[in-house]
Structure 1
Amino acid sequence: MSVKHAISRGLELGRSFLQIGLLKSGGRVAAKLRADRFRVGQSVRTVQPQAFLPSRYRYYRTSLTGLAAQLQSAGFRRRWTGGSPRNRAVFLAFGLGVGLIEQQLEEDRRSAATCQEIQAVFKKKRFQSTLRPFASGFKLEDYIIGNQIGKGSNAAVYAAAAQFARPKEPERDSSLLELRVNEEDLQTVRSPACCSLKSFPLAIKMLWNFGAGSSSEAILKSMSQELVPCGPLALKQEKEQITLDGHFGVLPKRVSAHPNVIRVYRAFTADVPLLPGAWEEYPDVLPARLNPTGLGDNRTLFLVMKNYPCTLRQYLQVSTPSRWQGSLMVLQLLEGVDHLCRQGVAHRDLKSDNILLEFDSDGCPRLVITDFGCCLAQIDSSLQLPFNSMWVCRGGNASLMAPEVATAAPGPGVVIDYSKTDAWAVGAISYEIFGQHNPFYRAMGLQSTTYQEKQLPPLPACVPAGVQLVISLLLRRNPNKRPSARIAANMLHLSLWGRRALASQDSVSMRKLADWLLCQSAVVLLQGCSGPSGNRVEAELQRSFLSNLELEDLRAAVGFLLYGRDQSRVFMTFA
């Protein structure tokens, strides 16, 4: 806004008093100004963002028009009762200030409206699973079981294929029965003994059952956390009626589909079979009918999912992603964590073994968060857990337990906030993605209970400055100074694709940022209409960003980036 325009606005505010009348009381003047002179349109009623002003100007943001009327009335009276030149200067300065603040408010309203419109467009284009609907698959006999492809502390995972839907000829598009994978990369991460993904496109996870009983109701209630990523048709209709009382209360609606979160296609209970490798790998968890010394119950829970080539840990053991791919991998984890947080779920066991990996058509790794056995799922989405006893489970992986969780001491009224704990774990896993040892894993490594931020090892010099800034912020000890997964993801989006919008050295124009958002929206919509290119990792990330677009989160991300730039004076660039 030019000085000339600001002066004109100040004079206009002064003339308003003459138009309203000199004999009206100050209260009526203020009311008239609020009703007539400062009304900017219907959008004020529907979109009311906070102004882009420091907190010390909060009164201006909340009661700008009322304050303007009061001060103008006082200034006007002083003008006609012999006010000094300094008072008249104050009056003019106030007019200038009101013009500037109102201009900023109007710009904020336009930016907020732009964000809401973009969000509305992309929320209608939510991620859709590639699973084709089918009515069968609720019995173990419906599947052909292959070799064991994984085993954890509470389950074994086997390759599988659906007997009821085996095609005679493979189809071109990706579906439940065919996965598009990078065969060259798969040969380096899959052992020769593993079943091929083309023949066994599914994976069946068999949970260990110790003491939950053998009734379906008891099993579903005891293992309800594993059902969080289930699809809407995963359970039989009669099983859907069972109240799913997990360890932390009644579970909310299960999380919706997301490209970076595992999807469970089928969930059912069945008798524990003697699968390949059972005697060698887990004899103690078998029921007594299969192993006289076994401790397991006769029935357990089975989950049917997509079969992925490898885990993130297996991939990183044999491959080193480029810095661009590494940045996209970190961003995918943040998008997945944000999706869970928005729906009231904290994973609480995030590690490279619990992240699956496949490849898009360009060979870029696509990451998927899996294994929800330790998750915290709440109906109120607060992600706050009362910690009144040491018997309360705080999560799975102690090494990657955020400082606010690891240092919590049980007691009356103690509550652990899990809203940013998974984001902290993403920061630690990022070291592995960029070829470093996880600083919290080594025998002589850091402890989340005692480490200081200055003790964190430096990332490789090839890691972009914007990514390094995000990782360092995610690993802050104080959760109040740590960005949420959404804000951290926004920072990476702006660093990767919004360099021109952030080109200013000292500040960022919200108008310029809104223009960039509109351009990005057009590009992503065109990519979605162009066929396979819309299924690439980059396109999925951009759609996720735009569907979750909120002005305050975007502004916070810009603030963090400007803070980091002021600290290092190095702007985020990619060759």
Structure 2
Amino acid sequence: MSVKHALSRGLEFSRSLFQLGILKPAGRIAGKFRGERLRVNQPGRSVQPRTFLPARYRYYRTSLSGLAAQLQSAGFRRLIGGGSPRNRAVFLAFGVGLGLIDQQLDEDRRSAATCQEIQALFTKSSVQSPVKPFTSGYKLEDYVIGKQIGKGCNAAVYEAAAPFAPLGPNSRCSLVELKQNGEESGIMAPLKFPGAHSYPLAVKMMWNIGAGSSSEAILNAMAQELVPANPQALRKEKELVLNGHFGEAPKRVTAHPNIIQVYRAFTAEVPLLPGALNEYPAALPARLNPAGLGNNHTLFLVMKNYPCTLQQYLQVCVPGSRHGSMMLLQLLEGVDHLCRQDIAHRDLKSDNILLEFDSADCPRLVITDFGCCLAEERLGLKLPFTSRYVYRGGNSCLMAPEVATAESGPGVEINYSKADAWAVGAIGYEIFGQPNPFYSSSGLESRSYQEKQLPPLGASVPSDVQLVVRLLLRRNPKKRPSARVAANILHLSLWGKRALVSLKPDSMGKMADWLLCHSAVVLLKGSRRNALVEAELQRGFLANLDLEELRMAAGYLMYGRQLSFSI
């Protein structure tokens, strides 16, 4: 065996031992290699590297670094004192390998500390409400109701106004038109018109069929709708009677730029609103429609009025590559925020996503309609699936494979931790002007499709976005990145290209340096450009920094660029 081969074997052996956890603590290694010339804790002797060792291998810490130094010293003594050349080389290489590993661990510790400091700095900033705070509004009579602006399978939405609830300074509530000429062709942009701010609010009236007319029964039956409600949404006396769908109150998601906020929630008598007899006659009570099946009282939710849904926006234009990337990124940020609080939306689709524009005409997306969500404290993101009658969520077309193919039985659980991220991957096709492959007539089914059947996104779509969509639509959730990792891939692609040029998979030192510079830039821009979507995304990225998740994202990027995915 050559000396070169022996050195490589020694280095590989040391790495393998470290990865298997044998080196924790260092005393275990000492027990494996006990001998006259290798004692980790010899009486009266301290672990010190020999002076003739290279400076990069002089470690004075105990545990791994101290062991590495002693192994290196012992290896040099064996070189001088005798023994077979092969054993001497392997012994020395083993010690050098331990030193290299400890050097990498030390760099990781510094990078992790940098990430934690940046994260702590940016998590202090609170999310500003698009509507100025107000103290009234717990009765339907407090609002002026306008025309109907939306309708779903269990509710109707109307524009509304109230004298105590004007728009905030950064809000833009307006119609939209298609730009023919602009920085990016085909971008939807705000069009101001008289009366645009007349109805800054939206009131969602739930259809109450079978829940009873008491406030307690209504709140219990529709508890999931209150997941995005702010702390002041319900009066305290009504908060006390809320039990939730599974016998306990659902979780409340904290404020986030990409999650809808419910400002008020109250029960009231169902009124005869514009278009009710034509649009939803069966949901009306008998006093308004003799053939109606609804109860006299129902739940009302007050939110901000957004110009359109994502579906309406995409019907008239295709966003440019940069705006499209940021739109996909916003959805991932919203899903990650839900997952971190153990909430699964379970009904993501383009008409459950609302859209407005920031001051730079970039679309801002918010996830709405939480009626199908899983948000129980005792369940987390895992739903016991002991019977086929257990509700799995809405929109079967965009139901993740692990949810759609689940078979009920004793002890079976459905894990929703990556199900919403899969749905975002499918919506990515719509954002970039392609038919959703799980909607079209000759489309795929989530329970049976193969990844090679996924259609291409188009040459104009950035390669990193194509990579993210392909990764999100992996059938096996274990091979699918989390929403946080997928978001980090897009963050690095959008803002960190310089850092990626010199990045190596086993070294995050340069990435930490870039993060510090990027943090300084975001802080300087923050006070002046607080309302911009781009600034919100960058702050969100820095507020959720994690070394391992960042390393995984960088690894996916480098892997994707090497393979050059053809999507």
Query: Shorter-chain TM-score: which interval?
Result: 0.7 to 0.9
Matched, 1:544 2:540: yes
Q: What is the letter of the counterpart of residue 42 of structure 2?
A: V
Displacement of 1:461: 0.4
Matched, 1:273 2:257: no
Task: Encode CA deviations 1:113-165: one digit per residue, 9 max, x unaligned.
Answer: 00000000000013221332221100000000000000000000000001445
Partner of 2:39 in structure 1?
Answer: 26
With over 3 angstroms needed to count, the CA separation of the structure-2 counterparts of 1:70 and 1:443, relative to structure 1, is same
Is contact 2:76–2:92 with CA below 8 Å preserved after alignment? no
Task: Encode CA deviations 1:248-279: one digit per residue, 9 max, x unaligned.
Answer: x5345411111111000000000111111110
Partner of 2:25 in structure 1?
Answer: none
Displacement of 1:215: 1.1
Q: How far, CA to CA, are the matches of 2:489 and 2:254 in structure 1?
A: 24
With over 3 angstroms needed to count, the CA separation of the structure-2 counterparts of 1:420 and 1:251, relative to structure 1, is farther
With over 3 angstroms needed to count, the CA separation of the structure-2 counterparts of 1:28 and 1:509, relative to structure 1, is closer
Partner of 2:128 in structure 1?
Answer: 128
Is contact 2:225–2:370 with CA below 8 Å preserved after alignment? yes
Partner of 2:283 in structure 1?
Answer: 285
Q: How far, CA to CA, are the matches of 1:272 and 1:200 in structure 2?
A: 21
Displacement of 1:462: 0.4
Specify the SS of the correspondent of 1:341. Answer: helix
Q: How far, CA to CA, are the matches of 1:297 and 1:31 in structure 2?
A: 86
Partner of 2:26 in structure 1?
Answer: none
Matched, 1:495 2:508: no
Q: What is the letter of the counterpart of residue 564 of structure 2?
A: S
Specify the SS of the correspondent of 1:284. Answer: helix
Q: How far, CA to CA, are the matches of 1:464 and 1:374 in structure 2?
A: 33
With over 3 angstroms needed to count, the CA separation of the structure-2 counterparts of 1:183 and 1:461, relative to structure 1, is closer
Partner of 2:244 in structure 1?
Answer: 245
Partner of 1:226 in structure 2?
Answer: 225
Q: How far, CA to CA, are the matches of 2:285 and 2:438 in structure 1?
A: 37
Matched, 1:564 2:560: yes
Is contact 1:439–1:456 with CA below 8 Å preserved after alignment? yes
**Identity %, equivalent residues:** 67
Q: What is the letter of the counterpart of residue 150 of structure 2?
A: G
Query: Match for 1:535 among 511, 531, 534?
Result: 531
Displacement of 1:344: 1.1
Q: How far, CA to CA, are the matches of 2:508 and 2:46 in structure 1?
A: 28
Q: How far, CA to CA, are the matches of 2:483 and 2:108 in structure 1?
A: 24
Equivalent pairs, count:
521
Q: What is the letter of the counterpart of residue 219 of structure 1?
A: I
With over 3 angstroms needed to count, the CA separation of the structure-2 counterparts of 1:405 and 1:101, relative to structure 1, is same
Specify the SS of the correspondent of 2:499. Answer: coil
Partner of 1:235 in structure 2?
Answer: 234
Matched, 1:451 2:449: yes
Matches within 5 A, 1:414-433: 414-433=412-431
Q: What is the letter of the counterpart of residue 240 of structure 2?
A: Q
Partner of 1:101 in structure 2?
Answer: 101
Partner of 2:205 in structure 1?
Answer: 206
With over 3 angstroms needed to count, the CA separation of the structure-2 counterparts of 1:546 and 1:361, relative to structure 1, is same
Partner of 1:151 in structure 2?
Answer: 151
Q: How far, CA to CA, are the matches of 1:382 and 1:39 in structure 2?
A: 45
Specify every segment of 5 or more residues in structure 2 that has no aligned partner in the other structure, as ranges.
1-29, 50-57, 180-186
Partner of 2:119 in structure 1?
Answer: 119
Q: What is the letter of the counterpart of residue 490 of structure 1?
A: N
Q: What is the letter of the counterpart of residue 157 of structure 1?
A: V
Task: Encode CA deviations 1:490-514: one digit per residue, 9 max, x unaligned.
Answer: 0000111111111148647411111
Displacement of 1:182: 6.8
Partner of 2:23 in structure 1?
Answer: none
Task: Encode CA deviations 1:87-107: one digit per residue, 9 max, x unaligned.
Answer: 332333233222211111111
With over 3 angstroms needed to count, the CA separation of the structure-2 counterparts of 1:195 and 1:346, relative to structure 1, is farther
Q: How far, CA to CA, are the matches of 1:361 and 1:34 in structure 2?
A: 62
Q: What is the letter of the counterpart of residue 91 of structure 1?
A: F
Displacement of 1:351: 0.3
Specify the SS of the correspondent of 1:29. Answer: coil
Q: What is the letter of the counterpart of residue 141 of structure 2?
A: E
Q: How far, CA to CA, are the matches of 1:445 and 1:560 in structure 2?
A: 28
With over 3 angstroms needed to count, the CA separation of the structure-2 counterparts of 1:195 and 1:313, relative to structure 1, is farther
Task: Encode CA deviations 1:311-351: one digit per residue, 9 max, x unaligned.
Answer: 00101111111111111100000000001111111110000
Higher mean displacement: 283-292 or 416-425? 283-292
Q: What is the letter of the counterpart of residue 223 of structure 1?
A: M
Displacement of 1:382: 3.3
Is contact 2:68–2:99 with CA below 8 Å preserved after alignment? no
Displacement of 1:425: 0.4
Q: How far, CA to CA, are the matches of 1:372 and 1:160 in structure 2?
A: 21
* CA RMSD, Structure 1 to Structure 2 (Å): 3.3
Specify the SS of the correspondent of 2:460. Answer: coil
Displacement of 1:67: 6.0
Higher mean displacement: 64-73 or 402-411? 64-73
Is contact 2:310–2:354 with CA below 8 Å preserved after alignment? yes
Partner of 1:47 in structure 2?
Answer: none
Is contact 1:75–1:87 with CA below 8 Å preserved after alignment? no
Partner of 1:354 in structure 2?
Answer: 352
Displacement of 1:353: 0.5
Task: Encode CA deviations 1:236-256: one digit per residue, 9 max, x unaligned.
Answer: 121222343224x53454111
